[in-house]
Amino acid sequence: MSSISLIQSEWPLVVARWPADGELADIDAYFDRYPALIHRARLEGPIVFITDLRRMTMSATTATKRKRVADRSAETLKQLKPLIRREAVLASSAWAKASLTAVFMFAKPEWPLRVFTDEQEARAWLAEVEPTVRQAPTPPVGGSALR
């Protein structure tokens, strides 16, 4: 079982790094951290977001897990809408990027969202609206970077 990292050490940039093989309990634990994130964003101002899906595998994304993510996302969407200025989604390949881009064409995001395969490009796009975003990617997940 691998946890989903929700890194806030570069605030107002928040980075969610999804593992290759998360379980339902990992998804629930991840979304259980959102109330604190929403509270912080309400106090400190809007955020920019990176959702890193590069490690995720197709075999790990079962229908049950996708439904859990959809259900839990729906719970937070209304609260997040005024708090996220932009979101960059990181995909592992050009094929994954094209697939995700197609999904977002049909399921319109609530805020500006683009899919990238390169974290530097994603950060540059986020820096257009949030100049404090550093161009160097965050260190690899190893310890807890939660605040």
Q: What ranges in 6-59 are assigned the alpha helix state H? A: 24-32, 34-44
Pick 5-127's CATH classification: 3.30.750, 3.40.50, 2.170.130, 2.60.40: 3.30.750
Task: Phi first, then psi: give them for residue 21, nearest 5 degrees.
Answer: -140, 40
pLDDT over threshold 70, residue 147: no
Lookup: tokens for 138: 């965050």
Task: Look at the chain and count its residues.
Answer: 147
DSSP state at residue 6: E
pLDDT over threshold 70, residue 145: no
Lookup: tokens for 127: 């820096």
Give the type of residue at 23: E
Mean pLDDT of the chain: 89
| pLDDT recorded at residue 111 | 95
CA distance 66 to 68: 5
Tens-place pLDDT, residues 105-143: 888 899 999 999 999 999 999 999 999 999 876 555 444
